[in-house]
Each structure stands twice: as structure tokens, then as C-alpha cells.
Structure 1
Amino acid sequence: MAATVKYDEVEVGQELPARTYPVQRLDLVKYAGASGDFNPIHWNEQFAKSVGLPDVIAHGMFTMAQGGRYVTDWAGDPGAVVDYGVRFSSMVVVPNDGGTEIEITGVIEDKLDGNEVVVALTARSDGQKVLTRAKARVRLA
């Protein structure tokens, strides 16, 4: 885990380092077990294609969780996120051979009272934005 980020060390407009998270089908099966969401579009290629999808797709909440992971890794404190929300804008397609990646970047959008900052996130997979309006309110040291 990264060192804890301090409120006085960040500025509005500051870009956070990009991080890339690999996604394999095994990750989706594990997530299905943890979440209870066993919809076959997330693990069965034949079924996913039969309902018009290009291939197996990641759970939306799995994708959202990668954004949360990005913010907590950056802040250095898993309890730092006070509020977090996103809109899903595209699917994360996970081919069987090689999987895919989700790349996440962030920027400090605002500094609030109480040592809190607003981090605006951008998440992309295969060149497509997969989350929009992704923002986290984070309490820093």
C-alpha cells in the first residue's frame, strides 16, 4: 500500500498516476462468487454471444470496484473513501485469450473542508470509457 496522502500535499488540478488493472475471466468467476451475481453473461461465452454481446463482459460493479481500489491505493488508506459514485458508459469485454485491462486515471477536482478532496476518475478498457461521472470524496490525513 502507498504511503498515506496528506491533504496539504495535494492541489486542485493535480493529476494522479495512471494504474492498469488486468482482468481475466477467472477474476469474474471469483467476483461472481463474492457478489452472488452468477449471470452467465459474466462467465459463459456461448451464452453471452447468444444474447447479442460481443463476448463475456465484466460485472459493472466489478468495474466500479476497480475505481474504488484505485482511490484507496492512492490515498494509502482503505477507509479514506467517504462517498463514491459512477455511471456505466460501456462494457468491459473480457476475451478468453489474454483477458483485458482497465486503465484508471484521476485528478483532484476540489478541496473541501475537513481534509476531504474530490477525485474525478476516468476508466478505460480497449480504448473506450467504461465509467463516466466517476467521482470519489476522499478524507486525507
Structure 2
Amino acid sequence: MTATATINYDDVEVGHEIPAADYPVRRINLVMYAGASGDFNPIHWNERFAKTVGLPDVIAHGMFTMAQGGRFITDWVGDPGAVVDYGVRFSSMVVVPDDDKGTLIQVSGTVEKKLEHRRVLVALTVRSGGTRVLSRAQAVVQLA
């Protein structure tokens, strides 16, 4: 999904479904994120270490996963500055195998409420490997 034209408040109704998007994740993405965030915890890049602490494999950073939901919203609205509020609960891990395919983070959204000042509340569904990885994921978005 790429940025689209600005979404107009008057054109959006409660129940409006935002087209789903898939975000591929490979180990290299986690290494790049570690460099950007400063989070070099080996559970995010070292399979041997991840398994010794009881994980099934390397897992994506929680904040990386959360960022994909934010990316979904900003791609939809076409303006990164339009996100007024965004929050999630981490409910499961994004396991990233060491192969060329990696995994996918799948995001969809629905407008749950129209608010004052041309804002909408969007509920997100974020899954990986068929499992919901973020719960209570919601964003308040300022529309044109």
C-alpha cells in the first residue's frame, strides 16, 4: 500500500473498511530496525539465543510491529502528520524465520467512530501467521 490522495472526512462513514495491506518482514528488516532504534536485544536477530530463552525463533521488535500499524494508517490517509493518537496492546509475537520469504504482518482497519474536528477513530486488526499480534490497536486520525 502506498500513500494515496488525502482522505476527506465527509467521504468516510462509520464502518468504512480500509483495504488490507501486507508488510513483509525479513531478518534484515529487524537488523535495520535495531540500528535505528538502538534495540540490539539478540532475540531480534540471533536464532540460537532466541531459542535458548524459550522463543520459537527470532521475533520482531514489538515497536517494529506497532510501527507497521502506524504505517498502514499513514499510507491510507496520505499524511504522516495526520495521526493524532495511536495505541496498541502487544498480544503475540511476530516470528521471523531465516529464509528469503520471512513473514508477513497483515493489517486491516475499520472506521469505528467519527469524532469532532474532522477526526475519526480507526480500529486496526494486525495479524502475522494467522495470529492476532496487536490487540486494542486504535488510531485517531485527522482528515481533510
Runs of 5+ in structure 1 lacking a partner? none
* Percent identity between the two aligned chains: 72
Using the TM superposition, give the Cα deviation of residue 96 of structure 1 relative to its aligned residue in structure 2, in angstroms: 0.4
Give the alignment of 1:1-141 within 5 angstroms: 1-97=3-99, 98-141=101-144
The Cα of 1:16 is off from its aligned counterpart by 0.7
TM-score for both structures, normalised by structure 1: 0.99
Distance 1:77 1:6 in 2: 12
Cα deviation for residue 113 of structure 1 reads 0.6
Moved over 3 A (4+): none
* Distance in 1 between residues matched to 2:86 and 2:62, nearest whole Å: 14
Deviation per CA, 1:109-129: give whole Å up to 9, x if none. Answer: 000010000000000000000
Aligned residues: 141
5+ residue gaps, structure 2, are none
Q: TM-score, normalised by structure 2?
A: 0.97
